Amino acid sequence: MRHLLLATLPLLLAACSGGADDAASDEAADAQPGNPYANAALDLQGTGIVVPAQEGFEELALPFGSARAPTEATLGNVLGAAVDESHEANDCGLTFTRYEGVTLSFRDDVFAGYSAEPPYSQIGTRAQLLADPNISMVPDSTLGDEFVIGAAEGPVISGLFDGAGDDAGVAHLWAGETCVAR
C-alpha cells in the first residue's frame, strides 16, 4: 500500500515548468549559490529523495544511507550551491546541508533525513491531501496541524499544514531522521 501511495501521490514537485535545452544550459551557467534552478524538481519519498530526469541529468536516487559527499554533489547539481551547512552535530546528533527549500540531515556523514519547504513542500491543499486514506492527521501534535503520509509501520513522510482551512497548503515536509522539537 505504501508503494501505491508513493506512486499516486503527486510528490513530483516542480518550482516551474521545464524550458528548452538552450535555456537549461544558460540556467546552469547562471546559477548562483542559494538560487535553485528555475525548473528543479524533486520526488520526496519516505525512504529518501529521487531526482527525476531533468536538465540533461538521468533520474538519480538518493536513499537514506547514502554517503554525504555524493548526496550533496547530486543535489548541488540540480538545486545550485548549498546556502548553509554544519559539520558539527546538533542536539539530535545530526549535521546538515541546506539548499534553497531543502535541508538534508546526516548522521556520521550518512544521509539520514530531509526537511522541505516551498516550493518543494507544495503537494496539494489540506482538503486534497486528507481525501487520501493514506494521509492522516497527528492527534494532539505539539507542532501544529501535523499530518503523516503512509502507514504507521513506515516509512512515512510527516508534514505541517500552513493553516486550518480546507485550502491550506503544506508549509513543511520531513522524513527520516530530522531534529524536530516536540
> Domain holding 81: CATH number?
2.60.460
Q: Into how many domains does the chain fold? A: 1
Would you say 26 and 155 are in contact if contact means Cβ atoms under 8 Å apart?
Answer: no
Position 153 scores a pLDDT of 84
Position 17 scores a pLDDT of 33
H or E element at residue 37:
none
Q: What integer is the mean pLDDT of 50-70?
A: 92
What are the residues facing 173 on neighbouring strands?
116, 159
Q: Residue 108 gets which letter from DSSP?
A: T
CA–CA separation, 150 and 22 (whole Å)? 39
Position 9 scores a pLDDT of 37
> What are 8-48's pLDDT values in tens digits?
333 333 333 333 344 434 444 444 444 445 678 899 999 99
CA–CA separation, 85 and 88 (whole Å)? 9
User: How large a percentage of the chain has pLDDT more than 90?
Assistant: 66
Predicted TM-score of the model (pTM): 0.78
> What are 78-89's pLDDT values in tens digits?
899 999 999 999
Domain that holds residue 12: 1-182
Cell digits of residue 32: 548562483
